Amino acid sequence: MSNLGTIATDRRTLLAGGAAAALFTPGLALAASGDLPAIRKAAEAGYAASVKRIQDWIALPSIAAENLDMEKGADYMAALAKDAGFQHVEKVATEGAPGVFATLDVGAKRWMGIYFMYDVKQYDPAEWSSPPLEARIVDKPGFGKVIVGRGAVNQKGPQAAFLAGLHAIHAAGKTSPVNLVLICEGEEEIGSPHFRQIVTKPHILAALKKCEGVIIPAGWQSPSDGGVTVNLGAKGIVELELVASGAKWGRGPKTDIHSSEKARVDSPAWRLVQALTTLVTPDGNNPAIDNYFEKVRPLTPREKELIALAGKQLSEADAKKALGVEHFIDDLPWEKTLERLASQPTVNIEGLVSGYTGPGGKTVLPGRAVAKMDLRLVPNMTAEDSVAKLRAHLDKRGFADIEVNVSGGYDPTETDENSRLIKAELATYKRNKVPTTIYPRLAGSWPGAVFTSAPVSLPAGQFGLGHGSGAHAPNEYYVIESSNPKVQGLVGSTMSYVDFLYEIAAAK
Amino acid sequence: MSNLGTIATDRRTLLAGGAAAALFTPGLALAASGDLPAIRKAAEAGYAASVKRIQDWIALPSIAAENLDMEKGADYMAALAKDAGFQHVEKVATEGAPGVFATLDVGAKRWMGIYFMYDVKQYDPAEWSSPPLEARIVDKPGFGKVIVGRGAVNQKGPQAAFLAGLHAIHAAGKTSPVNLVLICEGEEEIGSPHFRQIVTKPHILAALKKCEGVIIPAGWQSPSDGGVTVNLGAKGIVELELVASGAKWGRGPKTDIHSSEKARVDSPAWRLVQALTTLVTPDGNNPAIDNYFEKVRPLTPREKELIALAGKQLSEADAKKALGVEHFIDDLPWEKTLERLASQPTVNIEGLVSGYTGPGGKTVLPGRAVAKMDLRLVPNMTAEDSVAKLRAHLDKRGFADIEVNVSGGYDPTETDENSRLIKAELATYKRNKVPTTIYPRLAGSWPGAVFTSAPVSLPAGQFGLGHGSGAHAPNEYYVIESSNPKVQGLVGSTMSYVDFLYEIAAAK
């Protein structure tokens, strides 16, 4: 979840008040089936094994950006799926890292899709309070017992909680209430560049087509009230580097030269700055790429209604505190900031790198300057079209030499509020007295468009109880034993997936 | 010589043809004194000790930017001075790293000032072919035996060659033809922020005031023809960081936050880009800071004449090749580029740093963005006034929150072509058949203004035969045994200083 991260978590963090999440209350279908007591007992009995499953998985980090242990990671993922009862488990080759496709066909009426990733973000052990691959169990005040490690919440913890549900069902001598399709990639953290190659393999596509939808397990309960946001989609994203260089430009130096030469030699760094300036309005807050808004679909009345509702539930003061900002842009009213978050495409600088970047200065005229950028996209923009517009914009202004190196991205994704998937999510949360905010569009991004757009064309979204945080950051954690009655630990999270599967099986 | 580096070397590299430097020919004064054979013999006999002196010195790197071994470096410098015969040697405390002041009073008629630095630039051993502190002796094809190490040419090699001259004079049983004032600092590589505190101490200033001028030892003979450029001054410089941050701005985040928040949160990185854009013309080639050119003195007819002469001596094609550029700005004619190099103040980006700077991308909205800049100044601009103009320019445009953090700098420096110092340099070079180009102003910078401006007010400039390169870069080297008959090795370099001192003593 390279681009979901803080947003969803932080937004929920901000939920004001709301009812407390009580003890876990199983869905009618689960309760009615009589399966509940046995499954819960099995989940509790399997707790130690479930914890160890997370820890062992964290010990094997697959990092796509470094091409580290990708085959091993896929093999491990496949073994986890087999172990959880999937009958058909298949490693799927791509032009990049392999994926995994698995099915569990119990002859149920309905099929459900599950999306996993086995890769994790890079980490610097020096920044961690405990070694990021040791997955130590630590007491975290206010949260309870947590696993600290790279991938703890993003995504191995929640994914392992889902698998623990299947183990518990099996251990209780029961059968999954729905058939399952597990679809897994190892390049989520680099923008899923080959994920479409996996889902469009004919037999995989055929399996997916049978599903009600696809969920990605999530551990995003708010520590303040246990609440969860149900996003009806997410913005798309393009990650790219803009590169100005003497080598491509044919002017300026090809390497860093002595800065005194600026008197007579062109500067790729200045060129990058000049090009960047044209991409946004002078306040830096609105895209100014030619025709960038051409395909933007305005918010619907229902989306505005949902945002207005969310605005009442969420606290502006808490949001500012969580983000560490004193003002939103233009000092907009709270609800307007929520509208922009859902509806505004962005052109963001993630990083700037040129010349000398160490402490103090160094008298060089750099031969190369790079802006790391992300573009956030709303319906009906597409990643491909947005990159083409950026390219055309630069070309038109004489910046044809500035490279646009796209490293990854996906289109915006949308899922119907009235789909069985969303209804089952809401029903499960409601029954468990989890405060829920429906938000039209996650401002972050995830490869959901691979599922929601053709040819797969399914509802897709995050689901899950439980809590963790620190995706991409040091000391990433996932709660396994919650000291907060509003937030579920590992067993509660496990049971939320079980409940959801029963709900999907029984839902109208 | 943080800012002299490539310019001077490269410019000389480009000298077309010219007479070959023959065997070392001592000045009339030196030859007439009858001291020559004995001193040369002593310099040759001391070769091994001189080489070891450079190597031992390199083994102790003092790095002002990291406050590394500054006291040790000053103590070492003081010991070197004592060892070379200076009678009074004194460590001089400043608000930063200490300097060293030493005098050698032999009762001669004239005094000469020598400027040393004991600090070196940072280095990354991983980038070096041999460990940068081991100062290994390596065969460098086309050059001969060279010492490879940090500080080899910048400045320990040439400085040690000067000291070797004093050792040789002493070993030959002779006496220095002039009295000497050695003035040394340890913060040259960070812009000499406390050097004025040293030279303005009353007894040091009084000693300097007796001198004919101040030289900084240099090893800048061109490998192509052994030629040397005599610069009649140098541009000034200000090194600074422009910093845009949420913390100072009061808008945007104080740390890096998730990039999806760009939809509603201001971006310090975009703010920096917008501010930068205003500092130069759209092509990035001319300063656009308000009133920046107010105090600029145009080139004099004599300066233009010298540049025209240099333009005929120097090869445009070779210059482009050495710099790795295909075009100069605006495709200006060669002589115009030399005029700009001498006369044009600059606003240069040394480096850009913001947010995520590693491989690939990371979806953050950075809380801080930094542009490392240098401003090059020509007479009669001053560092202080230029910074004030930059500040006023930013303030006027609403960028009062953008920090201007000056790390160092000095004013431009000028030395009269008719001073005894320059005349003695030219005479020494000429006698040794070293092709010489007189250039009005080095485009690089050095703290010469500390000497040329009040209260010291002396002629000052680089002098020396010998060759090295790679200042600030990996594999910095200094030639100790030259395989190129046009270029002097360590003994030849040593003798050039001896000859120069005799020349100063005898000059009219």
Interface membership of B351 toward A (CB under 8 Å): yes
Distance of alpha carbon B158 from alpha carbon B492, whole angstroms: 11
Q: Is the pLDDT of residue A195 over 90?
A: yes
Interchain CB contacts (distance < 8 Å): A and B: 308
Distance from CA of B394 to the nearest CA of A (A): 15
What are phi and psi for residue B428, nearest 5 degrees? -65, -45
Q: Which residues contact A243 (CB under 8 A, 6 or more apart)?
A: A272, A368, A369, A370, A402, A403, A405
Cβ distance B352 to A369 less than 8 Å, yes or no, reads yes
Q: Is the pLDDT of residue A232 over 60?
A: yes
Interface membership of B295 toward A (CB under 8 Å): no
Distance of alpha carbon B43 from alpha carbon B175, whole angstroms: 14
Residue B397: strand, helix, or coil: coil
**CB distance A171 to A46 below 8 Å:** yes
Cβ distance B267 to A285 less than 8 Å, yes or no, reads yes
Burial of B327 per CB tally in 10 Å (0-12, 13-18, 19+) = middle
Cβ distance B261 to A323 less than 8 Å, yes or no, reads yes
Cβ distance B241 to A361 less than 8 Å, yes or no, reads yes
Q: What are the CA-CA distances from residue B72 to residues B98, B131, B186 (Å)? A: 10, 21, 11
Residues of chain B with pLDDT below 50 are: 1-23
Q: Tokens at residue A375, please? A: 């573009």
* Strand-strand pairing, A346-355 and A368-377: antiparallel
Cβ distance A364 to B344 less than 8 Å, yes or no, reads no
Phi/psi region, residue A331 (left: phi>0; alpha: psi -120 to 50; beta: rest), is left
Interface membership of B281 toward A (CB under 8 Å): no
Q: Which residues contact A150 (CB under 8 A, 6 or more apart)?
A: A58, A61, A120, A121, A123, A132, A133, A476
Distance of alpha carbon B330 from alpha carbon A170, whole angstroms: 75
Residue A240 is given by DSSP the state: E
**Which among A345, A331, A399 is positioned nearest to A375, based on CA atoms?**
A345
Q: Which residues contact A94 (CB under 8 A, 6 or more apart)?
A: A194, A195, A197, A198
pTM (two decimals): 0.86
Residue B399: strand, helix, or coil: coil
Mean pLDDT over A478-503 rounds to 96
User: Chain A, 120-159: which have a CB under 8 Å from a chain B CB?
Assistant: 122
Q: What chain A residue is nearest to B347 in terms of C-alpha separation?
A: A262
User: What is the model's pLDDT at position B28?
Assistant: 63
**Which among B379, B80, B187 is positioned nearest to B196, based on CA atoms?**
B187
- Which pLDDT band holds residue A471 (cuts at 50, 70, 90)? confident
Please say whether the dihedral angle defined by the alpha carbons of residues A410, A415, A420 and A422, taken in this order, is positive or negative: positive
Interface probe, candidates A362, A378, A446, chain B, greatest B C-beta count within 10 A: A362
Q: Is the pLDDT of residue A224 over 80?
A: yes
* Rounded (5°) CA angle B9-B10-B11: 95
Distance from CA of B42 to the nearest CA of A (A): 38
Cβ distance B260 to A407 less than 8 Å, yes or no, reads no
CATH fold, domain A5-234+413-506, is Aminopeptidase (3.40.630)
Mean pLDDT over A152-181 rounds to 97
User: Chain B, 398-457: which have a CB under 8 Å from a chain A CB?
Assistant: 407-408, 442-445
Distance of alpha carbon B291 from alpha carbon B294, whole angstroms: 5
Cβ distance B263 to A361 less than 8 Å, yes or no, reads no
CATH of domain B5-233+415-506: 3.40.630.10
Residue A490: strand, helix, or coil: helix
Q: What chain B residue is nearest to A66 in terms of C-alpha separation?
A: B359
Write out the DSSP string of B22-85: -S----HHHHHHT-HHHHHHHHHHTHHHHHHHHHHHHTS-BBGGGTBSHHHHHHHHHHHHHHTT
User: What is the model's pLDDT at position B26?
Assistant: 66
- Which pLDDT band holds residue A266 (cuts at 50, 70, 90)? very high
Which residues of chain B neighbour A322 with C-beta distances below 8 Å? none
User: Chain A, 64-93: which have a CB under 8 Å from a chain B CB?
Assistant: 65
User: What is the model's pLDDT at position B54?
Assistant: 98
User: What is the model's pLDDT at position B161?
Assistant: 98
Tokens 């809401």 belong to A426
Which of A276, A346, A358 shows the shortest C-beta gap to B273? A276
Distance of alpha carbon A69 from alpha carbon A67, whole angstroms: 7
Q: Which residues contact A77 (CB under 8 A, 6 or more apart)?
A: A100, A116, A118, A184, A186
User: What is the model's pLDDT at position A159?
Assistant: 98
Cβ distance B344 to A264 less than 8 Å, yes or no, reads yes
CATH fold, domain A236-296+345-410, is Alpha-Beta Plaits (3.30.70)
Burial of A437 per CB tally in 10 Å (0-12, 13-18, 19+) = buried
Distance of alpha carbon A334 from alpha carbon A357, whole angstroms: 38
Mean pLDDT over A319-346 rounds to 95
Cβ distance A361 to B239 less than 8 Å, yes or no, reads yes
Mean pLDDT of all residues belonging to chain A: 92
User: What is the model's pLDDT at position B13?
Assistant: 34
The domain segmentation of chain A, as residue ranges, is: 5-234+413-506, 236-296+345-410
Which residues of chain A neighbour B263 with C-beta distances below 8 Å? 340-341, 344, 346, 376, 443
**CB distance A236 to A410 below 8 Å:** yes
User: What is the model's pLDDT at position A357?
Assistant: 94
Cβ distance B284 to A274 less than 8 Å, yes or no, reads yes
